[in-house]
């Protein structure tokens, strides 16, 4: 059986991305591998073994075109309203809180936020299948 271990995104500014993921989600640099043409930075926190890999191509000066294939990363939190307020206070501009209620039953509570490179992150209330 395969085990999911990380997801990779390309970012333009390493310091800006590391700061965002640290302050927004408590993801800290676990490993940093520097090569002549690029740097790989692996972020993680105590909640999960899953890592976010940031790839920084050193010759890149223009923002990446995310295209129409990327969807989002997702994280779950214990207190959705408190996280929304905290991220708002940090100036990260999370979008509105949403109750997903198809058929009258709350399936999920969430909001989206974009990182400095435009990648979308879904922040879900830790409940049900999103525990």
Whose tokens are 């997903």? That residue is 100
Give the angle subtended at the CA of 102 by the CAs of 99 and 105, to the nearest 5°. Answer: 70
Helix, strand, coil % over all residues of the chain, rounded to 5: 20, 40, 40
CATH of 1-60 given 3.10.180.10, 3.40.50.10860, 3.90.700.10, 1.20.140.10: 3.10.180.10
Q: What is the pTM for the complete model shown?
A: 0.91
Where do you find CATH 3.30.720.110 in the chain? 71-131
Q: What is the pLDDT of residues 82-114, one digit of tens each?
A: 999 999 999 999 999 999 988 888 889 999 999
- Torsion angle of alpha carbons 6, 12, 14, 18, nearest 10°? -60
pLDDT of residue 11: 97
In CATH, the architecture of 71-131 is 2-Layer Sandwich (3.30)
Where in the sequence numbering do the catalytic residues fall? Answer: 122
């Amino acid at each position: 059986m395969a085990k999911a271990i990380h997801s990779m995104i390309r970012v333009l500014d390493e310091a800006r991305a590391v700061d965002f993921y640290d302050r927004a989600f408590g993801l800290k640099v676990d490993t940093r591998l520097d090569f002549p043409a690029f740097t790989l930075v692996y972020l993680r926190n105590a909640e999960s073994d899953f890592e976010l890999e940031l790839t920084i191509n050193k010759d890149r000066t223009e923002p990446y075109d995310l295209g129409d294939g990327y969807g989002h990363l997702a994280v779950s939190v214990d207190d959705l309203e408190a996280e929304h307020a905290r991220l708002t206070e940090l100036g990260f501009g999370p979008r509105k809180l949403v109750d997903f209620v198809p058929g009258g039953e709350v399936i999920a509570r969430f909001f989206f936020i974009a990182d400095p490179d435009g990648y979308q992150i879904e922040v879900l209330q830790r409940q049900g299948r999103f525990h």
